[in-house]
Structure 1
Amino acid sequence: MGFLIVAACARGATAEAPEERPPNIVLIVADNLGYGDVGCYGSTLHRTPRLDRMAAEGMRLRHFYVTSGVCTPSRASIMTGCYPRRVNMHISDLGHHVLQPVSPKGLHPDEITVAELLKHADYATACIGKWHLGDQPEFLPTRQGFDFYYGIPYSDDMTQREGKPWPPLPLMRNEEVVEAPADRNTLTQRYTEEAIAWMEANRERPFFLFMPQAMPGSTREPFASEEFRGKSANGAYGDSVEELDWSAGEILDAVARLGLDEQTLVIWTSDNGAPRRNPPQGSNSPLKGWGYDTSEGAMRMPCIVRWPGHVPSGVRCDVLCTSMDFYATFANLAGAEIPDDRIIDGYDIRRILKGHPAAETPYEAFYYYDRGELKAVRSGPFKLYLSDDGEPEGLYDLVNDISEEENILADHPDVVARLDEHAAEARADLGNGDQEGANQRPAGWVEEVTAREMAASDRGD
């Protein structure tokens, strides 16, 4: 497979032209899948022919970041275009990394999600998959701009067991629990079927399909359907990855079958990197580190973008962009109005995705937070790591030293000083630890919580 490597995604650019109608947008997000887990990003262990083909027919971003090494904060940024601390979704009500079942906290209803922007622009909107931004009714996808929801409201490992008095893992259709506990083996298959059926039903109007997959997920033994179980060279983890590849292919095939190929932007990525397991399962290679922290392996993701006639094919792009950029990019593609009464941290990256020769990163600095703590700053090729007390402790050139093998802190005092200034700006704006930022917004809270459970009549009680 041949790829054209261009620092600014320049070759093969196509001119921007008015659309007859706004494009359909399909955003597929895997759960806890690493940078090196698919073939077009270097895996020789997993068979991912459909994603490899998608990359050959589109663009592969190599410096694409999510805003957290864990699920809830990362997803909050996709929905709001903001750093998790901006919307106070960087930490759970219990001080944990992610929300747990029956939490009183969730994404604030006053936040204007990307789904709400597109809905107001006359898009049909659906969320099919794992939500994890609050399971109380006020926080569910159907209250956050999505016409339709089908999926589990939090992680696949949050199941009823000793010491965890949670409800059986609920599978929901809109706001009704239709299965509990959910059959996790068939989630990828059923999400795919639901997504295709929904696209078919909405083919005559612009649509936004957000498909946050549940796999590979957070368990030590990921799930896959019978067709894929035991078929990979990497145990249950590999089985789930290869089924995700199948799923992406089914979505792309459906888009083509509906005659919507050139009208549909499809993006495939992950919410954070593969976590450390013993023995190892996922791979973030050649990046350093594992999921659940602020390493490159945790926050730098595979990201494949395909839109025939608009996104150049066979391109590897080295421009830094982030999951926060989906917000402004999708809004502008849809002709939606971006709110001007609040800070949005992401940018419109249409020029990058369309391969314009002069396209550069819009980020002067990008911040790595672990819960409430600022742990690192990237500017240009350089990443500055910060100690627990905020002092510079490591500097790496992520372009020329992708695996971060050489600490060049002592060699570039000017770079260290500049990035340290950016860190101070982040602390003032977004906060740090117990220090509130000047421009944070509240999360949502409810006084009385209820569990998402099947109705007694459906349970046979």
Structure 2
Amino acid sequence: MMPAFALLVVFLLVPLLGIEAAETKPNFVLIVADDLGYGDLGCYGGDSPQTPHIDRLARGGLRFTDFHSAGAMCSPTRASLMTGRYPQRFGPIFDAALSGTTQRDRGLPLEATTIAELLREAGYVTGCFGKWHLGYQPPLLPTNQGFDIFRGLVSGDGDFHTQIDRSGNEDWWHNNRVEMDEGYTTDLLTKYSVDFIAAHHEEPFFLYLPHLAIHFPWQGPEDPPHRTAGRSWHQDKWGVIPDRGNVRPHVEAMIESLDASVGAIVETLNQWELTQETVVIFTSDNGGYLTYGKDFRNISSNGEWRGQKAQLYEGGHRVPMIVSWPGRIAPGVTDELVHSNDLLPTMLSLIDEPAVSSDGIDLASLWIEREPLPKRDLFWRSGSQLAVRSGSWKLVASRKEGAKPELYNLDDDPGEQRNVATQYPTIVKKLSDAWSQWDADVDLSSMEYSR
């Protein structure tokens, strides 16, 4: 039997241990690039531009080769990152990007549970600096979805110098009101983020930094301003591009600015001695554009993957993903199949918070112990397009009448060049049936938010 004195010591220490555990909860920094392709970074095989800060983050962290965004466009992935749910659970409007003209009163339902709400309940201070694109006006803005502070834009894109959206509106917000600021968008978001870390370095924080770069308008820091308020820019939304056949120089300047931002965030963590107390996650919301319209060419790079943004081939949704937590996550590379939905349950697991309903899985054992993940299927829907991934098999299809399914074995054909659907009809049917079951399930779930 334990002596009475020893029991007293244990009872006295328990509250202290609880306090210590709370104080050592890691900070989270989630940096999301916009339209950044798999091949746009040096650490993913790109040779131009130079991305030394992101590459250094990858060398010191865990780099994913088979990470997938929940959508091939902006809003779906953002809904997934915030909720850990397939975006279609919130309605078919999340098959694609929220429109700034026809859906200004729509957005992520307030009833949805976000990672910001869950972390704030766990004692975190929460900040969102960047592109929201999950609602265009109050109350569908970040401060009603768990964030203590929001600075940035609510639309799908804005001029990087004037912060005017494509409908001609001033689109630079401070919490629930428009409050314009002067500067280049990437630099402003970096400054807000650095200030947020400095202000909250003594308490656990969640910094969500969804950059606008490299989304159009394609404007590097030295490119001229383009949009002015009070007129529509829908037919002239791309910026000042003298050579439309070679957009790449403008995009490279944007990538370099994005890379510098990552460097500034990491350096700020170093300055406040927070590096080993902070999980830094870097990813993209979807693949990059290779071409746009009739004449824009040489824009982004998706490496070896077929397709581009808005398509459900690999190039539309296989994106960079890096996680860094020095001292806890060993450097390396993993080819495990991972999805946007997985970040929310993983972050909760890392701070020992109870699991919530999610379509993702906990990656903590993979990150820290390199344990393999359970097998599962992943699904995508974008209007009439559909895709499902099961192991090495990938089905890409369309619900349009007369469309024929495409089946690829990514182990043998990572570039999705050889359609083997006619050779494996049983696999096509199996994947088609799995997608149909998933589709019915998410549509049923969405009814909860359409009442």
- Residue in structure 1 matching 2:345, options 317, 325, 328: 328
1:146 alignment counterpart: 147
Change (3 A) 1:338 1:417: same
Change (3 A) 1:43 1:233: farther
- Residue in structure 2 matching 1:50, options 28, 50, 53: 53
The number of residues matched between the two structures is 402
Q: Which amino acid aligns with 2:87?
A: P
Segments of 5+ residues of structure 1 without an aligned counterpart are 1-17, 431-436, 446-461
1:174 alignment counterpart: 175
Change (3 A) 1:239 1:64: same
SS at match of 2:112: coil
| Stretches of 4+ aligned residues off by more than 6 angstroms | none
Distance, in Å, in 2 between the alignment partners of 1:273 and 1:426 is 23
- Residue in structure 2 matching 1:347, options 361, 364, 367: 361
**CA-based RMSD:** 2.7
1:208 alignment counterpart: 206
1:416 alignment counterpart: 428
2:322 alignment counterpart: 304
Distance, in Å, in 2 between the alignment partners of 1:52 and 1:124 is 29
- State the TM-score, normalized to the length of structure 2: 0.83
Which is richer in helix? 2
- Residue in structure 2 matching 1:395, options 407, 419, 434: 407
1:384 alignment counterpart: 395
1:71 alignment counterpart: 74
Distance, in Å, in 2 between the alignment partners of 1:422 and 1:156 is 35
Asked whether the 8 Å contact 2:247–2:298 carries over to 1, the reply is no
Q: Which amino acid aligns with 1:36?
A: G
Distance, in Å, in 2 between the alignment partners of 1:20 and 1:118 is 14
Matches within 5 A, 1:415-434: 415-430=427-442
SS at match of 2:135: coil
Is residue 2:302 matched to residue 1:284? yes
The CA deviation string for residues 274-331 of structure 1, in whole angstroms up to 9 with x for no partner, is 1223221111121100101212111111111111111111x11111111111111112
Ranked by relative contact order (alpha carbons within 8 Å, sequence separation 6 or more), the top structure is 1
- State the TM-score, normalized to the length of structure 1: 0.81
Matches within 5 A, 1:54-453: 54-88=57-91, 90-91=93-94, 97-100=97-100, 103-157=104-158, 166-179=167-180, 186-219=184-217, 221-224=218-221, 234-275=248-289, 276-277=291-292, 278-313=296-331, 315-339=332-356, 343-356=357-370, 358-360=371-373, 362=374, 364-371=376-383, 373=384, 375-389=386-400, 393-430=405-442, 437-443=443-449
Change (3 A) 1:189 1:165: closer
Asked whether the 8 Å contact 2:247–2:299 carries over to 1, the reply is no
Distance, in Å, in 1 between the alignment partners of 2:369 and 2:320 is 18
Q: Which amino acid aligns with 1:415?
A: I
- Residue in structure 2 matching 1:31, options 29, 34, 42: 34
Q: Which amino acid aligns with 1:244?
A: L
The CA deviation string for residues 2-39 of structure 1, in whole angstroms up to 9 with x for no partner, is xxxxxxxxxxxxxxxx7862110000001111111010
C-alpha deviation, 1:167, in angstroms: 5.0
Change (3 A) 1:307 1:416: same
1:452 alignment counterpart: none
Distance, in Å, in 2 between the alignment partners of 1:103 and 1:90 is 12
Distance, in Å, in 2 between the alignment partners of 1:233 and 1:392 is 34
Segments of 5+ residues of structure 2 without an aligned counterpart are 1-20, 224-239
1:15 alignment counterpart: none
Asked whether the 8 Å contact 1:89–1:106 carries over to 2, the reply is no
